[in-house]
Amino acid sequence: MEFKEEFLERLKNARSVVFFTGAGISAESGIPTFRGNEGLWKKFRPEELANFDAFIRNPDLVWEWYQYRRKIVEEAKPNKGHLAIAEMENYFEDVSVITQNVDNLHSRAGSTKIFELHGNIERNYCIDCKTFYTHEELNEAGGVPKCKLCGGLIRPDVVWFGEPLPQNVFSSAERAARKSDVCFVVGTSAVVYPAAYIPDSAKSGGSYVVEVNIEPTDLSYRVDYSITGKAGEILPAVLEEVKKLKTKESK
Ligand code: OAD
């Protein structure tokens, strides 16, 4: 695979690298994306499933939908894209993953510095007393489980539409993006804000912004380099270049 010379030069000199990821990076693990023809939002309505009012109106339905997605995630495995990102930690001083995904696959692939902007489907908490629960601790036989301490409804620890992002996570992620030397934007339509500000933060800090996507997005005209292709093919190829560049550098 041939890459632009300017990109390779930036990679060679980079110390701090950020990967800002969206649903597209997990598509090759069999997890559906949100938008596009096969996307979840073609079949389900976010206003009925992914916001707090919907949960209060019909907690069992929302819980069931998350159970369905959790099962897909549990059965999925990190793919070559997640694994290549994790391996980048061997070649750069600082690698951050900023993800909109709730599927935990970056962590399972071995990445160690992860900012989860939209939460994590494997965690849950009580809407009243905020006690956290793992799945093993929940009795899910009769629909949405209740808190053992106060009887409140248990919800997944994900960010729903209309809810704020975890503020400290978002501000740390923005800082990481701003101080990065290269920022990869992988498999996201980059239309959901404030997460979609991350590439702009990177750019405003002088980072070289590289998009990896199977098709052009709203962001494509604002990035320094747009690579068209599957994350599971492009990222391992980038890793191979990094290995060559960083080995040469240390000689
Ligand atoms: P989207 O479904 O909006 O976008 C997925 C992107 O991945 C699209 O641009 C695809 O072209 C691209 N893509 C698909 N397969 C790919 C592959 N194999 N390699 C590379 N790119 C690929 O998903 P997000 O941008 O993650 O939020 O969506 C952002 C947020 O909207 C989600 O976190 C979720 C959703 O509603 C909440 O639930 C709050």
CA–CA dist 178, 174 (Å, integer): 6
- When divided into structural domains, the chain yields a total of 2
- 209's enclosing H/E stretch is strand 208-213
Q: 213 and 99: one domain?
A: yes
Do 149 and 174 lie in a common domain?
no
Q: Are residues 231 and 126 in the same domain?
A: no
Regarding the beta carbon of 22 and ligand 1, being less than 6 Å apart is answered yes
Does residue 88 have a pLDDT over 60? yes
pLDDT at 42 over 90: no
CA distance 170 to 158: 14
Q: How far is the CA of 152 from the centre of ligand 1 (A)?
A: 32
Q: Which residue owns the Cα nearest ligand 1 atom 14?
A: 24
Give the model's confidence band at 137: pLDDT under 50 very low, under 70 low, under 90 confident, else very high: confident
Type of residue at 136? E
Please name the residue that has the structure tokens 């900023």.
98
pLDDT at site 175: 98
Centre of ligand 1 to C-alpha 74, Å, is: 19
Q: Do 143 and 245 have their domain in common?
A: no
Average pLDDT, the chain: 94
Q: Are residues 172 and 199 in the same domain?
A: yes
Do residues 81 and 186 make contact, with C-beta atoms less than 8 angstroms apart? yes
CA of 236 to the centre of ligand 1 (A): 20
* Type and span of the H or E element at 85: helix 80-87
Q: Domain of residue 143: give its range.
A: 35-75+122-158
Question: What are the angstrom distances between the C-alpha of 97 and each of 23, 40, 131?
Answer: 14, 24, 27
Q: Interhelix angle for 5-13 vs 231-250, to 10°?
A: 60
59 lines ligand 1 (CB under 6 A): no
| One domain, residues 171 and 147 | no
Q: Are residues 114 and 189 in the same domain?
A: yes
82 among known catalytic residues = no
Report yes or no: 88 and 242 within 8 Å, Cβ to Cβ.
yes
Ligand 1 site, residue 117, Cβ cutoff 6 A: no
CATH of the domain at 136: 3.30.1600.10
Same domain for 129 and 207: no
Instruction: Lowest mean pLDDT of 13-22, 52-61, 240-249, name the range.
Output: 240-249
Whether pLDDT at 243 is above 70: yes
Q: How confident is the model at residue 145 (pLDDT cuts 50, 70, 90)?
A: very high
Looking up residue 16, the CATH number of its domain turns out to be 3.40.50.1220
Let me know whether 138 and 187 are in one domain: no
Q: Among the listed ranges 25-29, 56-60, 130-134, 244-248, which one has the minimum average pLDDT value?
A: 244-248
pLDDT at 249: 60
| Atom 38 of ligand 1, nearest CA residue | 160
Pairing of strands 225-228, 182-186: unpaired
Closest CA to 24 of 221, 214, 210, 193: 214
